[in-house]
Homo-oligomer: A and B are copies of this chain.
Amino acid sequence: MIETPYLLFLGDAPDMLAAKVAIGIRDWRPENAIGQIRLPGCGADLGLTELSLAEAKEAGAKTLVIGVANRGGVISAAWKEVLIKALEMGYDLASGLHNLLRDEGDLVAAAQTHGGTLHDVRVPTVGYPIANGVKRTGKRCLAVGTDCSVGKMYTAMAMERDMHARGMKATFRATGQTGILITGHGVPLDAVIADFMAGSVEYLTPDNDADHWDMIEGQGSLFHVSYSGVTMALIHGGQPDALILCHEPTREHMRGLPGYKLQSLEKLRDTALPLAQIANPTCQVVGISVNTQHLSEGDARAYLAEVEGRMGLPAADPYRFGSGKLVDALAAL
């Protein structure tokens, strides 16, 4: 659990592309982002209030979150100066960088001296149990994709927001480092030891109110040979009541696997649903989320209509046209 609210550190990021994490926090948990702090030459700007460490502290910030990727995989001396000063002022630090805060001796020393916590969200900190498969109370929805990086996190986040707006009980459950930094908690599933993957998902989505939905962030794809085991653990550990199928229709091959062509939404339905029903016999596929960013608006609407007709399920692009149809389908379950 990372203490909120955050001050977002943008460092000397060259551009907005490097600021994916900070953008995610601003867009999905604006109440967590009290402001931004930048180094000279920073090319990223979230449009948040520019605050010094002291000003943000005064305003209640608890954690300095590294919201950008670092250049060359090294935490530079310029960054260190701000990070150590933050620890001296009583901040915690949180990071999803590959090079860990805990591997930096000066940060560890400053954290110990001043009682701060270093959150490296790529690294599991919990001894997760082995999954027991026992049926849990409450409801769960999982986004599964025909490929990696087709919008599974965005879909779950957008649906959670719409559900809150309708007064439904819903909690986005993060399974990757970006989601964990955005929400302040979760499981870094791709870094969990094989035997404990499904158990970590059970841990993440415990018993809840009968009308509460866990919106579980998907990972990988059953069709992506590098990461399909992670997806499988989500399907069985999450014991979803509802699956959302996610797709990007213009992709020419599986991400990072030039020899692998995309599979169809029908094949995803026919593969994922029987597997999900092992853990939850009442699971249903309730809708389809399409990432239409590479289609014109007309083509996007035509594609969604065609998919709806073909598959008999609501189809939406949550980013472009809203996730209302998908939430309707969940609410109707």
Contact = CB atoms under 8 A, between A and B. Distances in A.
B227 A198 contact: yes
B226 A132 contact: yes
A286 interface: no
A193 interface: yes
Contacts of A227: 195, 198
A278 B221 CA distance: 12
Copies of the chain in the assembly: 2
Contacts of A309: none
A133 interface: yes
A216 to B, nearest CB: 15
Contact of A233 (B189, B194, B235, B278): B194
B225 A194 contact: no
B199 A195 contact: no
A135 B259 CA distance: 9
Contact of A131 (B197, B225, B275): B225
Contacts of A271: 274-275
Contacts of A257: 132-133
B192 A193 contact: yes
A77 to B, nearest CB: 28
Nearest to A279: B225
Interface of A: 130-135, 189-195, 197-199, 222-223, 225-233, 235-237, 239, 254, 256-257, 259-260, 263, 267, 271, 274-275, 278-279
A259 B130 CA distance: 16
Contacts of A134: 259
B198 A194 contact: no
A279 B227 CA distance: 12
A134 B254 CA distance: 13
B133 A194 contact: no
Contacts of A231: 229, 232
A230 to B, nearest CB: 5
A236 B222 CA distance: 10
Nearest to A219: B194
Contacts of A263: 278
Contacts of A223: 278
B133 A225 contact: yes
Given A135-B259, A275-B271, A130 B229 contact: no
Contacts of A233: 194, 228-229
A223 B133 CA distance: 11
B199 A194 contact: no
Contacts of A189: 194
B226 A194 contact: no
A266 to B, nearest CB: 12
B230 A229 contact: yes
A23 to B, nearest CB: 24
Given A133-B259, A189-B194, A225 B236 contact: yes
